Amino acid sequence: MRAMPKSGLYAITPDGKTAEEILEFTQAVLKGGAKVVQYRDKNANDKETIATALLTLCHTYNVPLIINDNVELADKIGADGVHLGKDDGNISPARARLGERAIIGVSCYNSLERAVAAEKEGATYVAFGRFFSSTSKPLAAPAQIGTLTAAKKILTVPIVAIGGVLPENGASLLNAGADLLAVIGGLATENPRLSAQDYCRLFSQ
């Protein structure tokens, strides 16, 4: 089982793609330097097959695979962890099922209180957002950049920023306190590998 990186590009697979397209996308962003991958697909019929292939691919690059919203699937394929939104259940049962070493991430939106509670309950990382307008989550409530700064002062777990993150605005989030940048749309380009490299440069500046 791979550990959660302390910083870097957090790539999330795009919706509405075939298994082959998802694997091609993932390999491209891994080659581009992504440090963690989340499999997120609300509608796929063959999730287990795709997730299993993704896990093998990610581990080839020594990168953890996190499953979005689905503890059962994460357990079934032996994924490195799961990401939980506010309606996806609590940390404790997920931890009990997946084990002490599993990565468990929690969406905290713009709530510092939720993040503090998640850390106390054993979350591996917390995610805030959306920070900018987002095509993949257009209805998500906005988060304030100041929340990252406040969170950085009191949390010890890695902080992920998500929502409309682009190479042009990502530095502002890192400067405010984010450790990882989670990206969906900004990587779903004609050349995901080059796009990933653009994001990765932000971490070496």
> Max alpha carbon distance in the chain (Å)?
42
- Which value, in Å, is the radius of gyration of the alpha carbons in the chain? 15
Task: Kindly state whether residue 33 falls inside one of the protein's structural domains.
Answer: yes
Q: Compute φ and ψ for 6, nearest 5 degrees.
A: -85, -15
CATH number at residue 188: 3.20.20.70
Residues 89-144: tens digit of each pLDDT: 899 999 999 999 999 999 999 999 999 999 999 999 999 999 998 766 666 778 99
Task: Kindly state whether residue 2 falls inside one of the protein's structural domains.
Answer: no
Residues 135-152: tens digit of each pLDDT: 666 667 789 999 999 999
- pTM for the complete prediction? 0.96
How far is it, in rounded angstroms, from Cα 48 to Cα 52? 6
Task: Kindly state whether residue 1 falls inside one of the protein's structural domains.
Answer: no
As a whole number of Å, the end-to-end CA separation of the chain is 30
Task: Kindly state whether residue 29 falls inside one of the protein's structural domains.
Answer: yes
Q: In which domain, by residue range, is 127 found?
A: 8-204
Task: Kindly state whether residue 3 falls inside one of the protein's structural domains.
Answer: no
Q: Total structural domains in the chain? A: 1
How far is it, in rounded angstroms, from Cα 29 to Cα 31? 5
How far is it, in rounded angstroms, from Cα 19 to Cα 152? 37
